[in-house]
Amino acid sequence: MKITDLKCAVIGQNPVVRIVTDQGISGYGEIENTKPYLKSHVLFYKPLLIGEDPTDVARTMLRIRRMGAFKPWGSSVSAIEMALWDIAGKAAGVPVYKLLGGKIRDRVRVYNGGVRFPMSGHSPADYAENMARMKEAREGFSLIKQGIGYHSQMFSHSPDYTYGEYRRAERYPNRGPITEKGLKYVISCVQAMKEVLGDEVALALDCGPGWTVPDAIRLARALEPLNIAWLEDLLTGDYVPYVTADLFREVTQSTTVPIHTGEQIYLRENFMDLIEKRAVSVVGPDPEDVGGIAELKWIAEYADLHGIMMAPHGVFDGLIGLAAHVQVGAAMPQNYIAFEYPVGRPEWWYDIVEGLPDPIVKESHIAVWDRPGLGVDFIVSEAKKRLSDEDRDFFE
Instruction: Say which CATH number the domain at 67 has.
Output: 3.30.390.10
Average pLDDT across the chain, whole number: 97
Is the confidence at residue 133, as pLDDT, over 90? yes
Say whether pLDDT at 139 is over 80.
yes
Query: 97, 53 in Cβ contact below 8 A?
Result: no
Q: Calculate what percentage of the chain has a pLDDT beyond 70.
A: 100
pTM of the model: 0.97
Contacts of 99 (CB under 8 A, 6+ apart): 85, 88, 89, 92
51, 186: one domain: no
Q: Band the pLDDT of 288: cuts 50, 70, 90.
A: very high
| Same domain as 60, residue 111 | no
Which amino acid is located at 132 in the chain? A
Residue 332 lies in a domain: yes
Residue 61 lies in a domain: yes
Reference 301, options 262, 265, 261, 328; nearest CA is: 328
89: in domain: yes
Q: How confident is the model at residue 141 (pLDDT cuts 50, 70, 90)?
A: very high
The count of structural domains within the chain is 2
Give residue-wise pLDDT tens across range 340-367: 999 999 999 999 999 999 999 999 999 9
CATH number at residue 211: 3.20.20.120
Residues 138 and 13 in one domain: no
- Shared domain for 268 and 173, answered yes or no, is yes
Q: Is 69 left (phi over 0), alpha (psi -120 to 50) or beta?
A: beta
Q: Of 366 and 162, which is predicted with more confidence?
A: 366
CA gap 179, 185 in Å, rounded: 10
Whether 161 and 244 share a structural domain: yes
| Residue 309 pLDDT > 90 | yes
Question: What's the rounded mean pLDDT across residues 60-69?
Answer: 98
Do 81 and 140 sit in the same domain of this protein?
no
d(CA 298, CA 301): 5
Label residue 168 by pLDDT band (50, 70, 90): confident
Same domain, yes or no: 73 and 123: no
Q: Which residues pair with 178 in a beta bridge?
A: 162
Domain hosting residue 72, numbered range: 3-93+379-391
- Cβ atoms of 48 and 63 within 8 Å: the answer is yes
Q: Over the chain, what HEC string results? A: CCEEEEEEEEECCEEEEEEEECCCCEEEEECCCCCHHHHHHHHHCHHHHCCCCCCCHHHHHCCCHHHCCCCCCCHHHHHHHHHHHHHHHHHHCCEHHHHCCCCCCCEEEEEECCCCCCCCCCCHHHHHHHHHHHHCCCCCCCEEEEECHHHCCCHHHCCCCECCCCCCCCCCCCCCCECHHHHHHHHHHHHHHHHHHCCCCEEEEECCCCCCHHHHHHHHHHHHHHCCCEEECCCCCCCCCCCCHHHHHHHHCCCCCCEEECCCCCCHHHHHHHHHCCCCCEECCCCCCCCCHHHHHHHHHHHHHCCCEECCCCCCCHHHHHHHHHHHHHHCCCCECCEEECCCCCCCHHHHEECCCCCCCECCEEECCCCCECCCEECHHHHHHHCCHHHCCCCC
In the predicted structure, residue 66 carries a pLDDT above the cut 90: yes
Burial label, 105 (beta-carbon count in 10 A; 0-12, 13-18, 19+): middle
The model's confidence at residue 82, banded by pLDDT at 50, 70 and 90, is: very high
9 and 130 in a single domain? The answer is no
Contact 308/280 with Cβ under 8 angstroms?
yes
Q: Are residues 115 and 180 in the same domain?
A: yes
Same domain, yes or no, for 128 and 273?
yes
At 160 the pLDDT is 84
Q: Which pLDDT does position 125 carry in this prediction?
A: 97
Determine the Cα angle at 12 with ends 325 and 69, to 5°. 55
Q: Is the dihedral of CA 225, 161, 193, 141 positive or negative?
A: negative
Tell whether 396 is covered by a domain: no
Q: Is the pLDDT of residue 157 over 80?
A: no
User: Are residues 207 and 344 located together in one domain of the fold?
Assistant: yes
Same domain, 264 and 121: yes
- Is 297 part of any domain? yes
